[in-house]
Chains A and B, each alone.
Chain A
Amino acid sequence: MKINHILASLAIIGGISAAFTNHSERNHLYPTWKHDKDKIQGEKVHFISATHLADLLYQKEPGITILDARDVEAFENYHIPLAKSYDPGDKIPDGDLGSPIVIYGIENNPQLPELSDALSGKVYILKGGIEAWYNLVLFPDFNEYQVRNSDKLEQIIIRSRYFGGSPRNTQLLNITMRESSYREGC
């Protein structure tokens, strides 16, 4: 068998299995399978990024339950819009069963994987916790954020203002955009 045939076969296998895999495109909720042995002994956990969650809320995607696993004081101080305070002992309302559940706490909260495991249905942990929500959605810093085209810049600013935040270092935007036009190649 020639190497060409082997590579072609691999491509066909990859393509066919892709067609039968339920992996939705970037604009929808999608699972990211992670293995983090320290925290969860090889259990599979789904993550969702803060920006992705923000986009879903902005688009008013129906049926997402958001649970805040921090203490009540922190919850009352600030929480992600539509989030409900959640204590591990709480029961999830029946109506929410089966729909995607996003759970968050502070960054790297070791209890979260356990909590998500205890809940049934599609459970996603907010990657980076409430800090990611602050840093990437509410107060994105254009000094650090490597934004690469104007569509995304606008999206980031709109999202930040929509959730009541404000982007930092917006005066750097022109520089960022100018540099970005040289990033493409053959």
Chain B
Amino acid sequence: MELMAPIQFNYQVSEGVLLLFALLTGIVFGMFLEKAGFGNARKLVQQFYFTDMSMFKVLFSAIVTAMVGIFWLSYLGVLDITQIYINGTYLWPQIIGGIVFGFGFVICGLCPGTSCVAVFTGKLDGLAVFAGMFAGLILFGELEPVLNKAINYSSLGDISLYEIFNMNYGVLTLLITFIALGAFWFAGRVEQRYSNKMS
């Protein structure tokens, strides 16, 4: 039998089994977040003072791992790249959303994923962020039919960077790898400098 991911497109897998996969992935993800200390707002907020850039490094590592991984897995025939969901680009809504998200992150010290981790380790601030996030989701869900036109106005579809820059997929992968490594090095330097200043 050929085994090719993503399994829901290539095999008859019931919704229940898929949800089980999602649950297991979520548990492992949450465990690692907590283990890395990302359920703690004090730790996360330090990145905005440049004293602890670990969240930034973790996210960039995830991007590079996924990018290089998807490239090679699809090349080796393990993953059908045409079936991967690409989050659509809605330019203005995403710029505005990004700004609101940034403010929320600095003020609360938690992002959606880490707030869930914080809730389950019994942190009250986590619970507040979690509640706010769900209130926002419901509000957006209710307003979506009204805002639909405005949201779709700047929709660019599910495009990728190599399509925008008209670049070779492999070359772009290399370029982003270098950007990420440069960013790690830079983050390390900044971290060192500001930690020294604080102490």
Interface residues of A (CB under 8 A from B): 4, 7-8, 11-12, 14-16, 18-27, 30, 32-36, 47, 49, 51-52, 146, 148-149, 151-152, 181-186
Contact residues on B (Cβ < 8 Å of other chain), bracket: 35 or more
| Docked complex Cα distance between A186 and B171 (Å) | 27
| Beyond A15-B176, A149-B85, 18 additional pairs, beta carbon < 8 A | A4-B184, A8-B184, A12-B181, A14-B68, A14-B173, A15-B68, A15-B178, A18-B72, A19-B170, A19-B171, A23-B170, A26-B81, A33-B76, A34-B2, A52-B82, A146-B8, A149-B88, A181-B144
Q: Number of A-B pairs whose CB atoms are under 8 Å?
A: 95
Q: Is the CB of B173 within 8 A of A49?
A: no
Interface residues of B (CB under 8 A from A): 2, 4, 8-9, 61, 64-65, 68, 71-72, 74-77, 80-83, 85, 87-88, 111-114, 137, 141, 144, 157-158, 160, 162-163, 168-171, 173-174, 176-178, 180-181, 184
Q: Which A residues touch B64, using CB under 8 A? A: 11
Interface of B is mostly: helix
Some 14 contacts from A to B, beta carbons below 8 A apart, are: A7-B61, A15-B173, A15-B176, A18-B173, A19-B170, A20-B170, A21-B75, A24-B169, A34-B2, A34-B77, A51-B82, A146-B8, A146-B9, A151-B88
| Docked complex Cα distance between A95 and B178 (Å) | 43
Q: Which A residues touch B163, using CB under 8 A? A: 25, 27
The smallest beta-carbon distance between A105 and chain B, in angstroms, is 16
Tell whether A186 pairs with B112 under 8 Å between CB atoms, given A33-B75, A151-B158.
Answer: yes
Q: Which A residues touch B137, using CB under 8 A? A: 182
Q: Is the CB of B75 within 8 A of A23?
A: yes
